Amino acid sequence: MSTRTVLHAADITRALTRISHEILESNRGPDDLVLLGIPTRGVALAERIGALIAEFGGRSVPIGALDVTMYRDDLHRNPTRTPQPTQIPPGGIDGKVVVLVDDVLFSGRSIRAALDALQDIGRPAAVRLATLVDRGHRELPIRPDFVGKNLPSARDERVNVRLTEVDGDEGVTIGS
C-alpha cells in the first residue's frame, strides 16, 4: 500500500488563504455571507476560512455546521456515522449567500444531500461550494466554486485529509 503526501500544513494554509480571498472577491466583501461546514472536517475548514475572511474582509461572518447524514441517498448501502448537530447561525440563511465547505469533493452526493438539507432550513439567495480537494469522478452535475487543490485520482484511491483540530496533525495524502 503506497501513500504519498500531496498537501502539507503550509500548503493547506495557502489554499485556505486563496479560497478566502476568492470568496470575498466573488461576494464583493463579507456582506450577507454565511459559511456552513459539512461535518467533520468541513466544519474545521469553515472556521479557518471564517477567521481569514474576518482578517481580510474587516469583519466576521456567521459560521455553522450542516449535517447531511440523514439526507444521503446511500444510507441503505453504507453504514453511516452518527449524525452531528446542525448549527445554523443566528439570523439564518434566508436571503444570504451560503458557502458550503467540505474537505473532499468526489461523487457530489454529499453536496446534493447538503442542498436537500438546506432546503429544509431556509431559502438562501445563492449557494456556493468551497472544497479543499476536488478529486473528480463526479456522479452528479456539481462543481466547486472555490478549490484548494484539484487532485486527479483513480476511483479506488483514497484521499485522506487530516486537520489539527480533528486529527491532531495536518496534511492530505492519497494512496491505494
Confidence band (pLDDT; 50, 70, 90) for 4? Answer: very high
Residues 24-83 pLDDT 10s: 999 999 999 999 999 999 999 999 999 999 999 999 999 999 999 888 777 666 666 678
| Beta-carbon contacts of residue 112 (< 8 Å; ≥ 6 apart) | 73, 140, 142
- Burial code of 71-102, b = ≥16 C-beta within 10 A, e = fewer? bbeeeeeeeeeeebebebeeeebeebbbbbbb
Task: Find the angle CA(43)-CA(44)-CA(49) to the nearest 5 degrees.
Answer: 95
- 108 to 53, 96, 111, 115, 119: CA distances (angstroms): 26, 23, 5, 11, 17
Q: Which domains does the chain have, with CATH numbers?
A: 9-76+83-155 (3.40.50.2020)
**Among 64, 44, 58, 61, CA closest to 121:** 64
Residues 137-162 pLDDT 10s: 999 999 999 999 999 999 999 999 99
Residues 87-130 pLDDT 10s: 999 999 999 999 999 999 999 999 999 999 999 999 999 999 99
Would you state the pLDDT for residue 83? Answer: 80
Q: What is the full DSSP assignment across 10-65?
A: HHHHHHHHHHHHHHHHHHTSSTTEEEEEPTTHHHHHHHHHHHHHHHHHSS---EEE
| Beta-carbon contacts of residue 46 (< 8 Å; ≥ 6 apart) | 35, 36, 37, 63, 64, 65, 99, 101
Q: Could you give the strand order of the β-sheet that contains 146-150, starting from the edge strand earlier in sequence?
A: 63-65, 33-37, 97-105, 126-134, 146-150
Would you state the pLDDT for residue 106? Answer: 94
Bridge partners (DSSP) listed for residue 159: 174
